[in-house]
Chain A
Amino acid sequence: MRANERFSFFFKGKLIEARPGDSIGAAMFRAGVRVFTRSFKHHRPRGLMCVAGNCPNCLMNVDGVPSVRVCTAPARPNVRVTPQNVFPSLDFDVLAASQKFDWLMPVGWYYKTFTSRGAWKRVEPWIRKAAGLGEPPPAMAEFAGEAPPYEHRYIHSDVAIIGGGPAGLSAALDASQQGLRAVLIDDQTQLGGHLRFTPSEAERRDRLVEKVLADEKIEVLSRSHCFGLYEDRLLGVVQLPCEGREIESVAHVRAERVVIATGVFEAPLLFENNDLVGVMLSSGVERLIGLYGIVPGSRTVIVGEGPRAERIAALLRDAGSEVAATVRPDQVVSASGSGRVNGLRTADARIACDLIVVCGHRVPNAGLLHQAGAGLEWTDEKGAFLPTRLPPNVEAVGDVTGDDLSPAVAAPPAYPVSKRCYTCYCEDVTTADLSAAIGEGFNEIETLKRYTTVSMGPCQGRMCQISAIGVCANETGRSMGETGVTTSRPPNPSVSLGALAGGAHTPVRRSPLHHEHEALGVVWMNMGEWKRPRYYASDPSLGERECIEREYRAVRERAGVVDVGPLGKIEVTGRDAGRLLDKVYTHRFGNLPIGRVRYAVICDETGTILDDGTISRLADEHYFLTTTTGNLEFVVQWLEWWLIDTGWDVHIANVTGGRSSINVAGPKAREVLSALTDIDLGTDAFKYMACRQGEVAGVPAILLRIGFTGEMGWEVHVPADYGAHVWKSVLEAGRPYDIRPFGVETQRVLRLEKKHVIIGVDTDALSNPYEADMPWVTKLDKPDFIGKASLETLQSTPAGERLIGFTMLDAGRIPEDGASIVRDGEPVGRVTSARYSFVNKTGVGLGWVKAELAQEGQEIMVRVDGEPVRARVQHAAFYDPAGDRLRM
């Protein structure tokens, strides 16, 4: 598109012509659109007022994104603009009839009316529809396959300047001249602040902007709102889409020094019908004329006095509008018109017009300074709250300091107590509402804000705070300074939740065998950040249960292989390695013979089980630990913590990602692996709970003979870069035995039949080894270790609950994990794991029950689909209780 080429976009399905540089709102206004939105509660028509992105009068839906301030959003070809919060249309909204019944909705209506939860739940959806701020944008899930439309970025700078007006531009150039890196944050599409629409300042503006843009030390963030100034000068900045940037993003800006050059904004004055379409702020009129060449009215009345009113009158006359009168604010009674302005009433006249220009309060935009800890003090002479007591390394420059201010009206202001004199345009709060609330006792500005919601809408007080303080001061007889301001909090201005959330954050951990699983038709499950095979759907004609059974049969009858790469793996080396393990784990490891493996449990000081795994002694000063997947980082930190200040010679290395780990299990596992290694895997040469180092498929490997599945099997750990090679080699070597890969779900069935506990699934934050039916893991006769004192006490304390195994007596009923165990309808325990056992041909599970119900053979009732179903307690394993198959 050429620089001067006109283009079109859609508004309510009709084409609107726009010129280069137009905002959406400006193009619509030029095309004759006057009503831009309907008010939040009363559904009154509202039109452009500030043209600066401050007020809520132009919130519209743009390409599916709600609540876009179209007065500043750049027009782009083919965007689709639709009104929001209207029924059925902008020009005719039946909900505007609510004005007739506003006596039914006094201030604090919600609190007075919906005193029961049921009542609120019934009406809330209707209220949300009637008084909403548009429909939310598409859910993230609906962006599947495309990049999320939000992102974050991080900026470090010596100086951050907020505000691209003359003061901000000068501050940026000053910083650069000092050799500092500066980031300049401006909420408009072009730099220059008010100079942009002040013809006499055009040359100055061009000079400043040109220098800033040419300066490599200055980074400019245009159309970017700083919504928060946090501790240590961290700035939250939302960057809205504009030319050259399609994506809305949040910038985290950290700066050594922050310069606030946010200037002032203009706020409306209080008179009846001050919200009619056609009532505009003087700065809004300046912008329409200066930026877009649009004259907003043919016959104008100006409300104001002094040089500013004179300047606006001259501007309008030059632009071709007839200025019917300039009226002092204290003379105004009301604006008149039905929806749109057709006149202004004073005490003694009615002046016909189609535009009322209000020279309103000029309010220092000091919210960020307030957030940073600065004070705001009222100054009668300036008619404003001015920043004081600035914190270190935060400065204020330009108009925000109030140097050039004078009051628009006397303070506190005079105003009519009326249901049509709007203080808060966002929430439709009137002077009558504020007066009534103060009468009810909400006479402090903070409580008044919360009760009436004044200043809590999208403008966050920009339009209403000064007036609300004025009303509060007037009604309570206090001064403006005594009334004070409400607390400034981020985000201000508002930020979309999508922008705050940013793009996809969830990291994904992949095993070295990830792509091997995909080639085998894996069905994934998420376990924390890990992707793990749930099962393999290698045959499309089979359902999940059939696939799992097929994998199960392979392991029990022939051979299976599972990827256990996500298991935590830690190497502990050094002269004192065994000493550290004896201190941290409940079992003995200092005396573990080289080449042996031992089950290992960690307890905390209270005797609560924290984690389990295996510890293998590979050499005199070299141990190889496995941990549960979820507790790896914790175990590393726990070991390091208990090593601090011991002076022991121990080195702890987390090698989890560097090792690919598989478990080859089943009665034919020996034959499978023997084809790939020279290590003697014979029953006597490589006993159960032994370990060896050697080669498997030509790759250096650690082999542990352990039996989580209940079958003879070896865990094989190899460098991750060879993982796929070893996996494929095992499958190839196992082909004569019809080996099958199996997934986590099959593994869960296998281990449950052996009654092997998964820490964190079958135990919780209160479980100790005695209640968990594993007293053999504690060696209380060894020297002190973590939790020993508590375990000694627990050993002799009657257990309140016990972890039991149970067999379902109704073979067809399998409880869900977490199901209740009940007695006489009352819960007496819970199921932690339950699955159908192919070997027992019924459901088996683990669960916690009150100790008196933990007797062998005790009948218990387990809830299945809401019904109690009989089950029997069994302490021995459900499969191969003697463990013969492990020792084959």
Chain B
Amino acid sequence: MTMSNSSAVQNPVRRRSPLAETLEALGAKLGDAHDWDVALSFGSPNEEAEAVRQSVGLTDLSRIPKFDLRARNLDPAFALDGDARVWRQRRGQSLVTCSPESRASVAAQLDHYAASAAESSPVYVSDVTPVYAALLLAGPRGAAVIRKLADLDLSGEALPNLACTQTGIHHVYALVAREDLPSLRAYLIFTGREYAEWLWETVMHAGHEFGMQPFGSQAHEILGAS
């Protein structure tokens, strides 16, 4: 089975993250990136990046492509070319993410994989980009923030880089995936789109004691390049 093409839009309409209004209210400067309204910065990208390095920051990554991959017999070594990540949620179910630039390539690879699957062991791929919101919590105090919200063991042994786990954040389902930035621990938190604003507020509240601030895509780029 191949994915629904529901989000393969060929038109100039820009997509709105579930957090667009929240970020605007926080003073975000919005700009266009891959047909999405994206929070570029909240003032000074360099200062935002430095604040993340020193403590912790939060940004909206709901725009990253997300695919639900269901394959009963998925090879443990299954991987995709490019910057795609395969987050294994449970046996037979994974969430595939990639950068917006790699979207087409990753979608094609997944379609090919699904099409070549044996009939007795079908593979299903769905584009779930609009289904899930994604927050990126980055910085040395990120784990301390999550510890206020979820009953998770965040030690390096229990959740190494590029591993993920499912949890409840104040009773709401979330997938927490560790994807460190260069020299900086970072967690991707996926939850249902309809919970996005509530989760943002909850995480920001938890991070208040650590001086957590939002950061934009420009600061994210600085952190990714550093």
Q: List residues of A whose CB falls within 8 A of some B CB.
A: 147, 151-156, 181, 252, 254, 503, 505, 507-512, 514-515, 530, 565-566, 571, 573-574, 621, 649, 651, 653-659, 695, 697-700, 719-725
**B8, chain A: closest CB distance, angstroms:** 8
The reply to whether A651 and B70 contact each other, CB–CB distance below 8 Å, is yes
Number of residues of chain B lying within 8 A (CB) of chain A: 51
CA distance A651 to B1 in the complex (A): 9
The reply to whether B192 and A154 contact each other, CB–CB distance below 8 Å, is no
- Nearest 10 A/B pairs, CB to CB: A658-B131, A721-B15, A156-B153, A651-B124, A658-B130, A657-B193, A509-B194, A698-B11, A657-B192, A720-B130
B11 contacts across to A, CB distance below 8 A: 695, 698-699
Closest to A660 in B: B130
If over half of B's interface residues share one DSSP class (helix, strand or loop), that class is named, otherwise mixed; here it is: loop
B152 contacts across to A, CB distance below 8 A: 154, 156
The reply to whether A649 and B13 contact each other, CB–CB distance below 8 Å, is no
The reply to whether B198 and A699 contact each other, CB–CB distance below 8 Å, is no
The reply to whether A151 and B148 contact each other, CB–CB distance below 8 Å, is yes
**A739, chain B: closest CB distance, angstroms:** 21
Check: B180 CB closer than 8 A to any chain A CB.
Answer: no
Closest to B128 in A: A658
CA distance A574 to B121 in the complex (A): 12
The reply to whether B9 and A154 contact each other, CB–CB distance below 8 Å, is no
The reply to whether B153 and A722 contact each other, CB–CB distance below 8 Å, is no
A655 and B131 contact, Cβ closer than 8 Å, known pairs A154-B151, A156-B154: yes
Check: B113 CB closer than 8 A to any chain A CB.
Answer: no
Check: B90 CB closer than 8 A to any chain A CB.
Answer: no
Check: B226 CB closer than 8 A to any chain A CB.
Answer: no
B7 contacts across to A, CB distance below 8 A: 700, 719, 721
The reply to whether B148 and A657 contact each other, CB–CB distance below 8 Å, is no
Check: B170 CB closer than 8 A to any chain A CB.
Answer: yes
28 CB contacts below 8 A, A to B, read: A147-B205, A156-B152, A156-B154, A505-B170, A505-B171, A509-B192, A512-B194, A514-B197, A515-B21, A565-B194, A574-B122, A651-B1, A657-B194, A657-B195, A695-B11, A698-B9, A698-B12, A698-B13, A699-B11, A700-B8, A700-B9, A719-B6, A719-B130, A720-B130, A721-B7, A721-B130, A725-B13, A725-B14
CA distance A775 to B94 in the complex (A): 42
**A546, chain B: closest CB distance, angstroms:** 29
The reply to whether B155 and A181 contact each other, CB–CB distance below 8 Å, is yes
**B127, chain A: closest CB distance, angstroms:** 9
Q: Which of A505, A695, A700, A721 contacts B17 (CB 8 A)?
A: A721
Check: B111 CB closer than 8 A to any chain A CB.
Answer: no
B170 contacts across to A, CB distance below 8 A: 505, 507
Check: B112 CB closer than 8 A to any chain A CB.
Answer: no
CA distance A654 to B93 in the complex (A): 14
A719 contacts across to B, CB distance below 8 A: 6-7, 9, 15, 129-130
7 new A-B pairs (CB below 8 Å) besides A658-B128, A721-B130? A151-B206, A503-B205, A507-B198, A511-B194, A512-B18, A719-B130, A720-B193
CA distance A722 to B18 in the complex (A): 10
B139-171 CB mask vs A (1 if < 8 Å, else 0) is 000000001111111110010000000000011
Closest to A653 in B: B126
Closest to B197 in A: A510
Closest to A699 in B: B13
B124 contacts across to A, CB distance below 8 A: 573-574, 651, 653
B149 contacts across to A, CB distance below 8 A: 154
CA distance A511 to B193 in the complex (A): 9
Residue of B9, B128, B192, B193 contacting most chain A CB atoms (<10 Å): B193
CA distance A252 to B147 in the complex (A): 10
**B222, chain A: closest CB distance, angstroms:** 26
The reply to whether B194 and A510 contact each other, CB–CB distance below 8 Å, is yes
Q: Which of B4, B6, B147, B158 contacts A154 (CB 8 A)?
A: B147
Check: B104 CB closer than 8 A to any chain A CB.
Answer: no
The reply to whether B68 and A725 contact each other, CB–CB distance below 8 Å, is no
CA distance A239 to B29 in the complex (A): 40
Check: B87 CB closer than 8 A to any chain A CB.
Answer: no
A657 contacts across to B, CB distance below 8 A: 130-132, 192-195
A155 and B147 contact, Cβ closer than 8 Å, known pairs A698-B13, A700-B9: yes
The reply to whether A699 and B18 contact each other, CB–CB distance below 8 Å, is no
Q: List residues of B whose CB falls within 8 A of some A CB.
A: 1, 4-9, 11-18, 21, 36, 68, 70, 119, 122, 124, 126, 128-132, 147-155, 158, 170-172, 192-198, 205-206, 208
Closest to A695 in B: B11
**A786, chain B: closest CB distance, angstroms:** 24
CA distance A393 to B14 in the complex (A): 57
A510 contacts across to B, CB distance below 8 A: 18, 194-198
CA distance A3 to B89 in the complex (A): 51
A722 contacts across to B, CB distance below 8 A: 9, 13, 15-16
CA distance A508 to B196 in the complex (A): 9
The reply to whether A699 and B9 contact each other, CB–CB distance below 8 Å, is yes
The reply to whether B15 and A509 contact each other, CB–CB distance below 8 Å, is no
Closest to B8 in A: A700
The reply to whether A658 and B193 contact each other, CB–CB distance below 8 Å, is yes
The reply to whether B1 and A574 contact each other, CB–CB distance below 8 Å, is yes
**A517, chain B: closest CB distance, angstroms:** 12
**B193, chain A: closest CB distance, angstroms:** 4
**B96, chain A: closest CB distance, angstroms:** 14
A530 contacts across to B, CB distance below 8 A: 194
Residue of A252, A508, A574, A697 contacting most chain B CB atoms (<10 Å): A508
Residue of B129, B131, B153, B154 contacting most chain A CB atoms (<10 Å): B131
The reply to whether A153 and B148 contact each other, CB–CB distance below 8 Å, is yes
**B125, chain A: closest CB distance, angstroms:** 9
A154 and B150 contact, Cβ closer than 8 Å, known pairs A505-B170, A657-B132, A725-B13: yes
Closest to A508 in B: B198
Closest to B2 in A: A573
The reply to whether A725 and B16 contact each other, CB–CB distance below 8 Å, is yes
The reply to whether B147 and A153 contact each other, CB–CB distance below 8 Å, is yes
CA distance A721 to B65 in the complex (A): 12
B130 contacts across to A, CB distance below 8 A: 657-659, 719-721
CA distance A706 to B172 in the complex (A): 32
The reply to whether B21 and A571 contact each other, CB–CB distance below 8 Å, is no
A512 contacts across to B, CB distance below 8 A: 16, 18, 193-194
Closest to B7 in A: A719
**B89, chain A: closest CB distance, angstroms:** 14
B155 contacts across to A, CB distance below 8 A: 156, 181
CA distance A552 to B26 in the complex (A): 37
A507 contacts across to B, CB distance below 8 A: 170-172, 195, 198
CA distance A656 to B130 in the complex (A): 10
B36 contacts across to A, CB distance below 8 A: 721
**B156, chain A: closest CB distance, angstroms:** 10
Closest to A245 in B: B209
**A241, chain B: closest CB distance, angstroms:** 13
**B1, chain A: closest CB distance, angstroms:** 6
B196 contacts across to A, CB distance below 8 A: 510
CA distance A651 to B147 in the complex (A): 35
**B165, chain A: closest CB distance, angstroms:** 12
A651 contacts across to B, CB distance below 8 A: 1, 70, 122, 124, 126
CA distance A88 to B147 in the complex (A): 46
**A770, chain B: closest CB distance, angstroms:** 36
**B204, chain A: closest CB distance, angstroms:** 11
A700 contacts across to B, CB distance below 8 A: 5-9
**B147, chain A: closest CB distance, angstroms:** 5
**A513, chain B: closest CB distance, angstroms:** 11
**B55, chain A: closest CB distance, angstroms:** 16
The reply to whether A147 and B208 contact each other, CB–CB distance below 8 Å, is yes
CA distance A69 to B195 in the complex (A): 40
B171 contacts across to A, CB distance below 8 A: 505, 507
Q: Which of A151, A659, A697, A720 contacts B13 (CB 8 A)?
A: A697
A654 contacts across to B, CB distance below 8 A: 131
Residue of A621, A695, A720 contacting most chain B CB atoms (<10 Å): A720
A181 contacts across to B, CB distance below 8 A: 155
Closest to B62 in A: A721
B129 contacts across to A, CB distance below 8 A: 658, 719, 721
